[in-house]
């Protein structure tokens, strides 16, 4: 189930929020602590009006909420609201004392037993544990203890490494006897657990419009892009590893592609600090293949059983697939880069090229061009790196300050550095290079789509190719490696 957490201050606007998301959600969490004080008096009508199963949550500050009331007063207010309405669940923090759930009456009669009243009304109790900083060591026993009392354990904790993420995914197996449980990894490392909530063993995942908890995604993204609620035991898991990785556009290629060919699969971003630990996760949840981005393109090499010629030459791998019990590494940056200029090379329109940069991407570019008999010259801020790459690829190198000398001779200029990338859209590493001869200009930067360099080159009559084209091409090739099918041509990808 996808559960929308309301983030509004009034019931009316919270209902509008539910309406906006209705197509993507199965249930709602009404956050009483976020409502204005005077709204609480009518909060009991909310479940009937929104017509979806609703959790009542009155979150205190220490657990990431806004309520500053004492537990006693908070529980008294929560009781008044919940017992008058049609709530399906009520969330009570795991450490709220029994005595605070025995609610005092005005008269001298025995106190109300809130837990018992909830049970009699058929409202399920979620006992929640939050750790906004880390993963506590007693996770499994904590969840078991709550479940033994007949309540639904909710464990919302913060993984700080991929090893922590492995622990969260292990909860599915370790706690498989607990049918109803909620497990959430918060923060950037936890994003994959929010998407793959079913693989973690969680009965639901929370979504919000305003990222009320760290790492939370929108309901629309979970439902339409990831189809997170469709994941089942037969779903093949794919992903991308990197650090950082959450800005990646690759899910926009693979998930719609899987959907279009009716392939039961999902593609998820995994923030990874240690590649070794990620391979453990890949075994645990049977990941079928994954893309690799900065800084892990070299780090994955020791774990691969098989690599292609390009991976060997470039010394970097951006695509890993599980083939007959081993991991195979390929490099689709190589072919993705070539794809838009292949015809021009074969027609003899591109015989010489200037590459700016000597990092990971430049390595793939230099080898691709050299293998296609294009004469390459490499310029880089750190000259020693240009020199090294040039000697490996049997190319030439030149000081960045002297590239002007090539402006009337090269057929292709490839910009492979981060210069010009958003938010530094105003930078142009080739500022002094004039396009006196119309040539091909290829910028690997894909945000913005057209860099200052490309705009200038286009105005000078050059043929320009942007980084999005390469990104999409290399992604389509990865899709083929993952699925064995061509990327469906009818899917329009907007990167």
- What residues act catalytically? 297
Binding piece for ligand NAP, criterion CB under 6 A, among 116-124, 240-248, 277-285, 464-472: 464-472
360 binds ligand NAP (CB under 6 A): yes
Binding piece for ligand NAP, criterion CB under 6 A, among 24-32, 180-188, 199-207, 378-386: 378-386
445 binds ligand NAP (CB under 6 A): yes
292 binds ligand NAP (CB under 6 A): no
Tell me the closest approach of the beta carbon of residue 294 to ligand NAP, in angstroms: 5
Q: Which residue, 170 or 298, is less far from ligand NAP as judged by CB?
A: 298
The size of the interface with ligand NAP (CB under 6 A), counted in residues, is 26
Q: For the window 138-167, what string marks contact with ligand NAP as x by the rule CB under 6 A? A: ------------------------------
Residue of 191, 177, 156, 175 whose CA lies nearest to 57? 156
Q: Which residue, 189 or 337, is less far from ligand NAP as judged by CB?
A: 337
Q: For the window 318-357, what string marks contact with ligand NAP as x by the rule CB under 6 A? A: ---------------x--x--------------------x
Binding piece for ligand NAP, criterion CB under 6 A, among 220-228, 235-243, 260-268, 439-447: 439-447
Q: CB under 8 Å to 405, separation ≥6 — which residues?
A: 398
Of 470, 482, 483, 487, the residue at the interface with ligand NAP (CB under 6 A) is 470
Of 417, 451, 478, 483, the residue at the interface with ligand NAP (CB under 6 A) is 417
Tell me the closest approach of the beta carbon of residue 188 to ligand NAP, in angstroms: 19
Binding piece for ligand NAP, criterion CB under 6 A, among 126-134, 155-163, 256-264, 375-383: 375-383
Cα(68)–Cα(424) distance, integer angstroms: 42
Q: Which residue, 89 or 335, is less far from ligand NAP as judged by CB?
A: 335
Tell me the closest approach of the beta carbon of residue 357 to ligand NAP, in angstroms: 4
Of 53, 64, 359, 488, the residue at the interface with ligand NAP (CB under 6 A) is 359
Cα(88)–Cα(48) distance, integer angstroms: 11
Q: Which residue, 71 or 443, is less far from ligand NAP as judged by CB?
A: 443
Q: Which residue, 214 or 315, is less far from ligand NAP as judged by CB?
A: 315
Tell me the closest approach of the beta carbon of residue 297 to ligand NAP, in angstroms: 7
Cα(380)–Cα(417) distance, integer angstroms: 9
Residue of 90, 97, 93, 94 whose CA lies nearest to 72? 97
Of 385, 387, 437, 449, the residue at the interface with ligand NAP (CB under 6 A) is 385
| SS3 annotation, the chain | CEEEECCCCCHHHHHHHHHHHHHHCCEEEEEHHHCCHHHHHHHHHHHHHHCCCEEEECCEHHHCCCECCCHHHHHHHHHHHHHHCCCCEEEEECCCCHHHHEECCCCCCCCEEHHHHHHHCCCEEEEEEECCCCCCCCHHHHHHHHHHCCCEEEEEECCCCHHHHHHHHHHHHHCCCCCCCEEEECHHHHHHHHHCHHHHCCCCEEECCCCCCCCCECHHHHHHHCCHHHCCCCCEEEEEEECCCCCCCCHHHHHHHHHHCCCCEEEEEEECCCHHHHHHHHHHCCEEEEEECCCCCCCCHHHCCEECHHHHHHCCCCEEEEECCEEEEECHHHHHHHHHHHHHHHCCCCCEEEEECCCHHHHHHHHHHHHCCCEEEEEECCHHHHHHHHHHCCCEEEEHHHHHHHCCCCCEEEECCCCCCCCCCCCCCCCCCCCCCCCEEEECCCCCCCCHHHHHHHHCCCEEECHHHHHHHHHHHHHHHHHCCCCCCCCCCCC
Tell me the closest approach of the beta carbon of residue 393 to ligand NAP, in angstroms: 14
Q: Which residue, 205 or 474, is less far from ligand NAP as judged by CB?
A: 474
419 binds ligand NAP (CB under 6 A): yes
Q: Which residue, 10 or 424, is less far from ligand NAP as judged by CB?
A: 424
Q: For the window 185-204, what string marks contact with ligand NAP as x by the rule CB under 6 A? A: --------------------
Tell me the closest approach of the beta carbon of residue 428 to ligand NAP, in angstroms: 11
17 binds ligand NAP (CB under 6 A): no
Tell me the closest approach of the beta carbon of residue 293 to ligand NAP, in angstroms: 8
Cα(70)–Cα(400) distance, integer angstroms: 65
Of 236, 416, 451, 483, the residue at the interface with ligand NAP (CB under 6 A) is 416
Tell me the closest approach of the beta carbon of residue 475 to ligand NAP, in angstroms: 8
Q: Which residue, 357 or 448, is less far from ligand NAP as judged by CB?
A: 357
Q: CB under 8 Å to 321, separation ≥6 — which residues?
A: 288, 289, 327, 328, 330, 481, 482
Other Cβ atoms less than 10 A from the Cβ of 98: the count is 9
Q: Which residue, 54 or 417, is less far from ligand NAP as judged by CB?
A: 417
390 binds ligand NAP (CB under 6 A): no
Binding site for ligand NAP (CB under 6 A): 294, 333, 336, 357-362, 380-382, 385, 416-419, 421, 429, 444-446, 467, 470-471, 474
């Amino acid at each position: 189930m996808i559960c929308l957490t309301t983030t509004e201050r009034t019931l009316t606007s919270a209902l509008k929020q539910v309406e906006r998301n209705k197509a993507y959600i199965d249930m709602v969490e009404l956050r009483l602590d976020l409502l204005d004080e005077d709204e609480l008096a009518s909060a009991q009508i909310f479940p009937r009006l929104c017509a979806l199963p609703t959790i009542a949550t009155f979150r205190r500050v220490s657990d990431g909420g806004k309520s500053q009331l004492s537990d006693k007063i908070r529980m008294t207010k929560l009781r008044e609201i919940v017992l008058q309405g049609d709530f399906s669940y009520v969330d009570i923090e795991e450490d709220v004392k029994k005595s605070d759930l025995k609610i005092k009456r005005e008269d001298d009669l025995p106190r109300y037993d809130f837990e018992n009243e909830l049970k009699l009304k058929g409202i399920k109790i979620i006992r929640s544990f939050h750790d906004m900083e880390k993963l506590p060591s007693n996770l499994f026993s904590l969840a078991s203890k709550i479940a033994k009392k007949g309540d639904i354990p909710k464990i919302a904790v913060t993984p700080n490494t991929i090893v922590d993420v492995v622990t969260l995914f292990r909860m599915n197996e370790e706690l498989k006897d607990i049918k109803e449980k909620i497990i959430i990894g918060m923060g950037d490392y936890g994003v994959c657990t929010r998407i793959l909530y079913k693989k973690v063993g969680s009965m639901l995942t929370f979504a919000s419009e305003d990222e009320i908890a760290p790492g939370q995604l929108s309901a629309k993204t979970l439902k339409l892009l990831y189809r997170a609620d469709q994941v089942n035991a037969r779903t093949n898991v794919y992903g991308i590893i990197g650090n950082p990785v959450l800005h990646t556009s690759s899910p926009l290629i693979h998930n719609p592609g899987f959907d279009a060919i009716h392939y039961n699969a999902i593609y998820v971003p995994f923030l990874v600090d240690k590649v070794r630990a990620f391979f453990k996760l890949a075994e645990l949840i049977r990941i079928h293949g994954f893309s690799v981005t900065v800084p892990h393109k070299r780090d994955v090499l020791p774990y691969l059983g098989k690599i292609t010629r390009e991976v060997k030459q470039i010394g970097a791998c951006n695509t890993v697939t599980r083939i007959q019990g081993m991991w195979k590494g390929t490099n689709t940056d190589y072919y993705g880069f070539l794809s838009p200029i292949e015809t021009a090379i074969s027609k003899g329109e591109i015989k010489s090229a200037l590459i700016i940069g000597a990092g990971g991407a430049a390595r793939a570019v230099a080898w691709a061009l050299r293998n296609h008999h294009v004469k390459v010259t490499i310029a880089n801020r750190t000259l020693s790196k240009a020199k090294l790459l040039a000697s490996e690829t049997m190319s030439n190198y030149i000081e960045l300050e002297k590239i002007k000398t090539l402006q009337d001779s090269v057929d292709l200029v490839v910009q492979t550095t981060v210069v010009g990338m958003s938010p530094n859209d105003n930078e142009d590493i080739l500022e002094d290079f004039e396009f006196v001869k119309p040539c091909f200009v290829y910028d690997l930067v894909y945000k913005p789509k057209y860099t200052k360099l490309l705009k200038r080159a286009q105005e000078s009559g050059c043929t320009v190719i942007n980084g999005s084209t390469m990104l999409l091409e290399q992604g389509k090739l990865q899709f083929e490696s993952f699925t064995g099918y061509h990327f469906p041509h009818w899917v329009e990808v907007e990167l």
